Amino acid sequence: MQFSRVIIVCFSFVFTVQAKPHLFSLNDTLGCGYQVCPATDPNKINVHLIPHSHDDLGWLKTVDEYFNDQTYYLHRWWEMQDDATKENVKRLINEGRLEIINGGWSMNDEANTHYQGTIDQFTLGHKWLYETFGECGLTKTGWQIDPFGHSREQASIYSQMGFDSFIFMRYDYRDQAKRKSHRTMDLLWRGSDNLGKDSNIFTSTFTRGTYAWPPGFCYDISCGDAEIVTDEDSSDFNWNQVVSDFAGYIADQVQYYPTNNLFITMGDDVHYTQAQKNFANIDKLISGFKKYNPNIYGKELNVFYSTPSCYAKAVNEYVIRENAVLDHKTDDFMPLISENDGCWTGFFTSRPTSKRYERISNHYLQATKQLIALAGLPQELSFNLANAVGVMQHHDAITGTELQAVEKDYHRSLYAGIFESVQHISKALTKLLGIEQDIDLHYCAWANVSICHETKEGNFRILLYNPLGRTVTEYVQVPVDDGAWTVTDPEVKKILMFKAENIPPLGYKVYEVAKTGDVSELSNQTQAIADRNKIGFEKNYVILDEETGFIKTMAINGFELNVTPKVMFYYSDYGSGAYMFKPDVNRRDPVSFSDKVENQITTSDLSIEIRQEMRDWGIMTIRIYQDTDYIENDWLAGPVDVGDGSGRDVIIKYTTDLATAGTFYTDSNSRELIKRQRNFRPTFNYTNGEPQSGNYYPVTTRMVLRDEDRGVQFAVIIDRAQGGSSLNDGELELMVHRATLRDEFGGEHLYEMEYGTGLVARGSHYLTFGPVNSERNIYPLLCSSPNNAVPEKAKSFLNQDLPDNVHLLTIQRWNDDANTYLIRLEHFLEKDDDSNLSTEVEIDLENLFTVFTIVSAEERTLNGVTPLRDVSRMNWPQLNDEEERVLGMKNRSLRDDTDLKIALAPMQIRTCAQIFSMTRWLLLALSVYGIYGNPVDFTDDIPVCGYDSCHSIDHEKINIHLVPHSHDDVGWLRTVDQYFYYQVQYIISSVVSALLENPNRRFIQVETAYFYMWWNLQKDETKSQVKQLINEGRLEIINGAWSMNDEANVHYQSTIDQYTLALKFLEDALGKCARPRMGWQIDPFGHSREHASLLSQFGMDGVFFARVDYRDKSKRMRKKTMDMLWTGSANLGSDTNIFTSVLYKHYSAPGGFCFDVTCNDQPIIVDPASPIYNWKSRVDSFADYVRQMLQSYPTRHVLIPFGDDFKWEAALNSYINLDRLIEGFDKFNITINKLPVNIIYSTPSCYAKAVRDYVEEYNVTLEVKTDDFFPYADTSTTVWSGYFTSRPTSKRLERFANNLHQVAKQITAFGNKPADTNLQLSRAMGVMQHHDAITGTEKTAVEIDYHRSLVKGMNIAISNISTTLSAILGLDKDLNLKSCLLSNVSICAESSGDNFNLLVYNPLSRSASHYIQVPVNDGEWKITGPSGEVIEGFLSNPIRNFDYITQDTRKETLNKVLFFRAESLPPLGYNVYNFQRVSLVSKSKEENVVDVGQIGFSDRYINMNLHTRLLESITLNNVTLNVSQDMYFYNSTTQSGAYIFQPNSNSSIRFGDPTDLIITEGGNVKEVKQIWNDYVTQIIRVFKDEDFVEFDWVIGPALSTTSGDYFSKTVIFYLRDVKVQTQISYYVYLTGKTAQAVGANGFGKEIITRYTTNLDSNEEFYTDSNGREMIYRKTNYRPTYTYTDTEPVADNYYPVNTKILIKDDTTEFAVLTDRSEGGSSLNSGEIELMLTRNLLHDDNRGVGEFLNESEYNQGLVVRGSHFVTLGKSLDGNGGRTMAAVERDIAQRKLLQPWVFFTPEDVSVKQLSFLNKELPENVHLLTLETWNDSDNTFLLRLEHILEKDEDPTLSQEVTVDISDLFSTFKIKSMKEYLLAGNTPLEESTRLKWAQVTKPEDESSPLSMQNRLARDITDLNITLAPMQIRTFIATVE
């Protein structure tokens, strides 16, 4: 059988990284190990921080799953890396930054392992490390942090491998307590009684029962501890606190250690899958200690990255310097008792068959290695088995503490390894014998349960191979059928047994077995009993007790000893499990199966068997041979009967009459014996918590009782590791099987199953008295050869037997090319074992082997890697005696390699590597490692980015574009800072490193707010690497805006600003290749046409999104119109056409293919030998997905996103799998729709370009869309039109902040201040555009953070404006300008005095007049204008009493509002007004008017119905229109939430008539106040000179209640405190409680205002698109798909950013808003707008809170204004159309004059920064400082009308700006694309033959025209709606 080659497995390692900064340089000298340890400071406390990951080799998952899921086991990982990565790792290792410690194949268990398995697994690991990494890959530190107790032999093995230190965690709790109090956590440990001082090793232990991070300081991706935030401005700032807390931890820990050094582990099980996060925080921790420098015990702290090795070195230096003496230990750390009744002694026996299987496997491994070596076959032939056995040493493998499924996987590997190795043995023997035909040996895996196919039929041959170095004789059992058999020697039984005598050393014998008849001649032979109770042979026999039938006495070689074996069991306690052994406290003593036993006795010439069956699950067969020095107890236990619900632990107890005085002996990993004393520990006080299990010890091979007085010794040698004890003198018990029904740690309980029943375990105990033969574990290997004869029936490959006390421990091939071998010789007796054999012995290697001659032998460390002469171990003066003779290192290292006589002292193992040509070892030593790669110099590279960097496509194939991305919301469930510090920074870092590894990979970076934060934290080196990635198109900026803005609620000005901010940053930081070419709006909830237009104007070629109305999408999928072309503007021509693609299924990875660290989908498993292999099937199912997709897209290209919200924190998880997905399509030759497949890493740009090319080549026509994608419904009843209004105060604050933002940018420009002056506000505004910010769909805590950040930005801006204006005016003293951000709730400290000044700044480029409201105190006020004129004011009452705010903010509310008209404010300039209170009594009066219904002025007024107290009509612009207005609400269903609007009825409910109507009149302002109830108030205001009527409304505090018609006030639970600095949960918003308080049947309320006119508007209306173009709407209608009327209200709602209007043939009625609101016209003549929402449910779209806002300790109060205008459409006012009137109002309301207060007298009372005003259809959209260095400004001019809106104003207009600005003169102006990042001439948008039509060259829209303009030509022409963007250079 051909066994497929498997690349295997597993490397357990611990890596640590030091902070040593290294530049890449060829000249670096090699430095690693102790050389690169950080310096310690003798006068400080040195704190070694040790990053590590503990990666179990299978535990809860199989190794394969672990590897693929999370862990990068070095070796497996290495096999899959490319050369560049390997070089990088080598460099890290050679610089000591990545340090490998321990380095074994696994972190082995120490209780159950055989020393041979341990040595082998270290040899395997260290050899590979040395060959791969050179000397720096070798370690001198043992790291056994997890194993459950520690053996002395492990310490000895470490020492013999040249290790300096041994570090572990788990040991007896009493020992630990003592060590803590004695400061002996560091100690020196003697590993061997026999091997002298060189077996001492420095040992350090943990103070805690965990190797995890210090509590509260876990910085892994899997932890929830607070990140370290160093930004003092952040509300999450905690740096100082973390340092102080950590210092507290150090202070506690350092008192337990003997020196001024302390190590702290920073890691845990399978951590560091995303290392950037971990290291970033540790970096901050370390720098925090430098910054804050806390002291402990009067000492400073020196905190640094370190490694366990460096810790050991530091302690050693201290000890030498201070002459300190450490504790010296000579016993071991077994067993592990973790608490009074927590004895980890169960795992000594757990899974007994597994433990046995490991031993068998090791046996085959040794034979395989020997024969491969002898035959000169390649060493790697033994690799699979060596690997499987190496894995098996793991502390959750051989211990039996893994899950059952994992055990099966271990066995699978072992079985495969053995199976394969038998083939290799055949091959080796065939070669050694020089025969043609393969010997074809077979292996009977189940011989011990009597199954062996090979012996089933007829005659066969048995080959017995003896792996020992001397001749042995063995009894051999072979399962056969009944019958008569002959072997070359003796006879047979059912189990054919024969004595194989004198099998030669390292040799074999072949036995022919023949069946001679069908009837067994011996089968029923009667017993040969000499004496009724004495059974056996002359010298070997047993004597039975007459009464009970039990054995009473045994004799070997005639020596009698009273020994009674019995099978017994313990009842287990619930606390018993795989790890722990705990007898039931009420039934502590072991129970005997029965008092009497029936003996079945079988006799043959070879042996006599006594079978004692006590129950069917406890059987002993005592086998006596004639001539052996042992009696065998062949025991069988199981299936354990647990029918009564109790677990049981089965033991075999041997009772003797020896006087043992409480002592017994157990072996340490099969080597030295350790003396044990019952209820005693040599180094600390024993407390008897568990009298049985507390006395259990691991027995690996043998356990011994000694009667010192009688000089008699009784030993039991066992065939696997078991737990054992001597609980009474003369007794010895061994636990053989376990069945527990509970798990002590809540996992899987240990009741093993096999073959459908409880596990049956079988094994042997060899009982002996006298000198011990510990080699029983090495027995001849049984192979059957049914077919071929072996020419030589007996052969040895040794020329002579080795002496009786010498064991050829290892012979294996070392290096095939150099023809070298590894040989270990062992003296296997201890110094006092035997007077003859425990002496030194000498072996001559020269002619030992028959097949080769040894020429030289170089002695090495036990792991075979380091020549002994190169070893220098740490020196500990307290143990400084030099060893003599063969134990002395000095003697041994002086030995000449050609001296082949090797002497051995007792217990000594000497390891030699040998050659038999004259090639010397120099070859190994001088191996040169090319580890220093040249850093790539990419600065001069010509960038190949954009479309040129796409992977190639092929239109004759199906092209699958895989697009890795992460969707990183700029705030949503967490704040921006939280998301960044907890997740996003690691996403970017992780992706960058993964991209650097493999040039094929691609990633798109989207949100620049995060990228900016990340960039600023990076080192130059990283920045250069990122630039390289960008320049090569491997990392592509997509979208690139500060945030992925919402499209419903945003105003175009803020959108443009946020792209400008981000794209400028990207351009400055990364250059041209960072210009985004695609919009990526995958999450926003509906899509505006204006956004498509803006993207086009930014130069983008396409936009991608996921959320489209379900009806629209299903039609698109049917019609293959998921890809389309979209016309962004009705005014701007074909340049606003943009390719648009709808994602197939949201933006996450296809179902089942999420490979992210946070997902649980199957990884792609490519190893065909793995039982969980799935490569082909995963590729197939992916292909199916693509087949499906292709039915919805018009070309042969599909785009498949791989990502989701905050994915890719551990980028390799996904990339590795995507790499394999791609590879798989090729490997398996997948075709789709009969076409071959081209599957590539791609980006949206590459996809769009590919589609474009395809469309052009095949003349495909795409759909052209001209309307927009609003509203968005994801099902027939869930329309996302609620968020058009959600969080109305937040939406207003954003608009308000924009107003200030423009003012601030203008004044900063005029004052020539730095471009980043307003950065905080710009950034906050950018964030605020995000689709979970301005939408109101974030959590409340996040909203508060948005507001915090915005208000902070506003305050900074105001203060900058003050200094700037003061400087412009040449003032010495700052004007100290202030703004009253709370003036809308009558709070303004600045206007609370009797005399103050207002500086009113107009940000419009034309002069404007404006009514200003100022909260003031009552009295008579004198207002003086800029020219000294006295201005009429109007003193009114506040709309509402806002005193409740006073209570919360301790700010004073003012009791009056003073209106005045600021007349003719200059463009981009200001007027100053003086306010003086001249009398404390006001003259204005307030009256209730009952008989005058008409309020206003002669040409503009309103009529009120005094009966209903509601509006009746409005007269404006010479038109009187019947308009009524009223307040209503909808009751919402449980589906209405932050996103979704779902009323429970189509009818809204009135609040009823207003209860009060208060009319107040001033000279130029008339007010009517309507009060509906405590919660709803409105003032309708008519102004003398305005074209609009203002509706100033206040709603709240409103809370929904159980019944339908009224509101009642409920206290909301409120725990906000923005002053608290700690996070995360400091805003607790107890929404659940509120819901409960109002009852389960409560309805949410959606409050609307409705204007009802008598216009016949035909159910048609218009809403604006982001404040720009108007879009036609019609009730119950969609232009491009069939409307289904399932949500008649919500589905007719549209976003209203600034304006909604209705009209009939002549007359037009418009409502303008001061923020975004949802609105509709459900019936002809009506307009309704939703004002606020109080909801009691979450709509299950992720936010997880319901929208019931509160502020100032009560439900939210919302105040806002509508500006209502009406008139003749064509002749609204003064020759302007209504459209022009509305545009004017909208602009004046968007960019209101900003009011500054100042106590100072401003000398210049009027100032304009413009020399002239711009025409009324032109708007100076932007003026801001661009680059400080070259005196440039960004300037945008906008035509604010659409093309058909006004006959005059909708014309092209030309402005001359050469002399426009008063503070600077423009020299030249270069035109740019809209974001200001790309010069117009560098714009290269994709052309689409179908829609791209050049504009008439004379039009200012024409690109050619614009490009032809000279930069000094300052006459700029604008077409309607055109925005032109310039960077102006000024003088």
Binding site for Zn ion (CB under 5 A): 969, 1083
Pick between residue 969 and residue 1687 the one whose CB is nearest to Zn ion.
Answer: 969
Distance in Å, CB of 1332 to Zn ion, minimum = 6
Pick between residue 268 and residue 969 the one whose CB is nearest to Zn ion.
Answer: 969
404: left (phi over 0), alpha (psi -120 to 50) or beta: alpha
Residues 1054 and 1052: their CA atoms lie apart, in Å, by: 5
On the CB side of 373, how many CA atoms lie within 13 Å of its CA?
29
Virtual torsion, Cα 469, 475, 477, 478, nearest 10 deg: 70
Residues 1360 and 1377: their CA atoms lie apart, in Å, by: 9
Cis peptide before 1927 (omega within 30 of 0): no
Pick between residue 1604 and residue 1742 the one whose CB is nearest to Zn ion.
Answer: 1742
Q: Which helix (H) or strand (E) holds 1781?
A: helix 1778-1790
Distance in Å, CB of 1335 to Zn ion, minimum = 10
Describe the crossing of helices 239-254 and 275-292 by its angle, rounded to 10 degrees.
80
On the CB side of 179, how many CA atoms lie within 13 Å of its CA?
27
Distance in Å, CB of 1014 to Zn ion, minimum = 18
Q: Which two tokens stand for residue 402?
A: 């893994």
**Alpha carbon of residue 1533 to chain centroid:** 38
Q: Which residue is nearest to Zn ion (CB)?
A: 1083
Q: Which two tokens stand for residue 1187?
A: 């087949």
Pick between residue 970 and residue 991 the one whose CB is nearest to Zn ion.
Answer: 970
Residues 1783 and 1789: their CA atoms lie apart, in Å, by: 10
Pick between residue 383 and residue 1208 the one whose CB is nearest to Zn ion.
Answer: 1208
Give me the catalytic one of 56, 175, 1083, 1135: 1083
Pick between residue 1473 and residue 1539 the one whose CB is nearest to Zn ion.
Answer: 1539
DSSP code of residue 1894? P
On the CB side of 21, how many CA atoms lie within 13 Å of its CA?
5
Pick between residue 64 and residue 1083 the one whose CB is nearest to Zn ion.
Answer: 1083
Contact yes or no for 279/227 (Cβ under 8 A): no
DSSP code of residue 983? I
Whether 1226 is a known active-site residue: answer: no
Distance in Å, CB of 1105 to Zn ion, minimum = 11
Pick between residue 1147 and residue 1459 the one whose CB is nearest to Zn ion.
Answer: 1147
Tell me how crowded residue 1282 is: count the other CB atoms within 10 A of its CB.
Answer: 33
Label the pairing between strands 697-699 and 722-725. antiparallel
Give buried/exposed letters for 1504-1542 (b at 16+ CB in 10 A, else e): beeeebbbbbbbbbebebebbbbbbbbbbbbbbbbbbbb
Distance in Å, CB of 1083 to Zn ion, minimum = 3
Q: Which two tokens stand for residue 48?
A: 């070694």
- Quick one: which of 1185, 1191, 1194, 1183 has its CA closest to 1254? 1194
Distance in Å, CB of 1691 to Zn ion, minimum = 23
Residues 287 and 230: their CA atoms lie apart, in Å, by: 10
Strand partners, 541: 536, 555
- Quick one: which of 1297, 1309, 1427 has its CA closest to 1364? 1309
Distance in Å, CB of 1647 to Zn ion, minimum = 27
Distance in Å, CB of 1289 to Zn ion, minimum = 22
- Quick one: which of 920, 912, 916, 915 has its CA closest to 823? 912
Distance in Å, CB of 1331 to Zn ion, minimum = 6
Q: Which helix (H) or strand (E) holds 568?
A: strand 559-571
Pick between residue 453 and residue 1146 the one whose CB is nearest to Zn ion.
Answer: 1146
Distance in Å, CB of 1148 to Zn ion, minimum = 12
Q: Which two tokens stand for residue 1199?
A: 């785009």
Q: Computed from CA positions of residues 261, 264, 265, 266, in that sequence, does the dihedral angle turn out positive or negative?
A: negative
Any residues with CB less than 8 A from the CB of 1705 and at least 6 apart, and which? none
Residues 1499 and 1494: their CA atoms lie apart, in Å, by: 12
Q: Tell me the three state secondary structure of residue 422.
A: helix
Virtual torsion, Cα 1050, 1052, 1054, 1055, nearest 10 deg: 80
Pick between residue 59 and residue 1003 the one whose CB is nearest to Zn ion.
Answer: 1003
Pick between residue 979 and residue 1888 the one whose CB is nearest to Zn ion.
Answer: 979
Distance in Å, CB of 1500 to Zn ion, minimum = 46
Residues 354 and 403: their CA atoms lie apart, in Å, by: 12
Pick between residue 1148 and residue 1724 the one whose CB is nearest to Zn ion.
Answer: 1148
Contact yes or no for 1360/1306 (Cβ under 8 A): no
- Quick one: which of 1628, 1638, 1635 has its CA closest to 1738? 1635
- Quick one: which of 1497, 960, 927, 1356 has its CA closest to 1185? 960
Contact yes or no for 1159/1148 (Cβ under 8 A): no
Distance in Å, CB of 1742 to Zn ion, minimum = 9
Distance in Å, CB of 1283 to Zn ion, minimum = 12
**What is the Rg, in whole angstroms, of the alpha carbon atoms belonging to the chain?**
44
Strand partners, 1758: 1595
Pick between residue 454 and residue 969 the one whose CB is nearest to Zn ion.
Answer: 969
Residues known to be catalytic = 1083
